[in-house]
Amino acid sequence: MKKILIAIFFVTTINLFAQDMLSVQMDYANNLFESKLYFDAVTEFKRLQFFDSNKMYEYDSNLKIGVSYKKGAKFDKAVEHLTKSINSARSEDERFEAEIELVKANILRKTTDNALNIISQLEGKYITRQKRNELYYWRGWTYMFADNWKMAAFEFDRIDPNHELKILSQNVEGDKYSESLATILSIFIPGSGQIYTGRYLSGLMSLGWNVLWGYTVFNAVDAERTFDAAIVTGLLWERFYRGNIQNAKNFAKEENIKIANKALRYLQNDYTGKKP
C-alpha cells in the first residue's frame, strides 16, 4: 500500500511539474507574440505543442500561430492553423474569435468568396447585435479589398450611418471614373474619353490625329482616289479611332486603381480602427 501511495505521489508530482513547465512555455511564447516577434513566437508555440500531449493549449497555440503567420503574409499556413484552432475551440466565443481571424486571413489573401462564405455562415449562428456588427464590419473590409466600394459602404452603413469607413467608401466610389462613360464619349468624340479621365494632352492628341486622318479620307474620296481613301488612309484612321476608344477605357481603369490604392494606403498607414 505504501509503495502504491508513493507511486501515485510520484506520478502526480511529475504531472504537476509538466503542467507548470507547459505554462511557463506558454507564457514565454505569448511574450514573444505580444512583442510582435512573430517568427520566434511560432517556433515557441510549436515547441509547446510538441510537449502538450493532453492538448491543453491546442486552441490558444494554433490561434496565435495562425495570427503570426498572417502577420508574416504566409496566408495559407495561417488558414491551416486557424482552422485547427476553430476545431479545438472550447466555447462559442473562442470559436467566433478564431473564425473572425480566418475571415481576416482570407481578406488579406484576397480570396473574397471564401471570406464572404464564412461570414454568411456565421450570420446564421450569431444573433447578438455586437457580433452581427462585427460581421458587417469585416464584410465591408472584404468588399474594400475586392474593390467593391459601393457594397463596402452599404455594410458599414448597417453599423452606423456615419461610420468613418462608410464615408471613405462612398468617397472612393464617387471619385472613380466610369469606364463605360469614357468608352461612349470616345466613340462619339475621339479624345473626349481621355479628357474625361484627366489625360488632357493624350485626349487632344487623339482628337487631332482623328481629325487629321478623317480629313485626309474625305479629301481622298472627294478627289476620287478611292484606293487611297478606302485601303490606306481609311485603315490608318480606323487604327487611331479604335486606339482612342481603348485608351480611354484603359485610362479610366488606371485612374480608378490609383484612387483605390490611395484609400488602401490610408487604411494601412493612418486608419486607427481594427484592421485585418
Q: Same domain, yes or no, for 162 and 227?
A: no
Q: Same domain, yes or no, for 162 and 84?
A: no
**pLDDT (tens digit per residue) in 246-268:** 777 888 888 889 999 999 999 99
- Mean pLDDT (the chain) is 82
pTM of model > 0.85 = no
> Looking at residue 127, what DSSP letter applies?
-
What is the model's pLDDT at position 254?
A: 87
Q: Is residue 145's pLDDT more than 90? A: yes
Q: Same domain, yes or no, for 211 and 143?
A: no
In a domain, 271, yes or no: no
CB 104 within 8 A of CB 112: no
Domain membership of residue 58 as a residue range: 2-109
In a domain, 230, yes or no: yes
Cα–Cα distance, 109 to 102 (Å, whole number): 11
What's the burial of 56, exposed, middle or buried (CB within 10 Å: 0-12/13-18/19+)?
A: middle
**pLDDT (tens digit per residue) in 32-54:** 999 999 999 999 899 888 888 88
Number of compact structural domains in the chain: 3
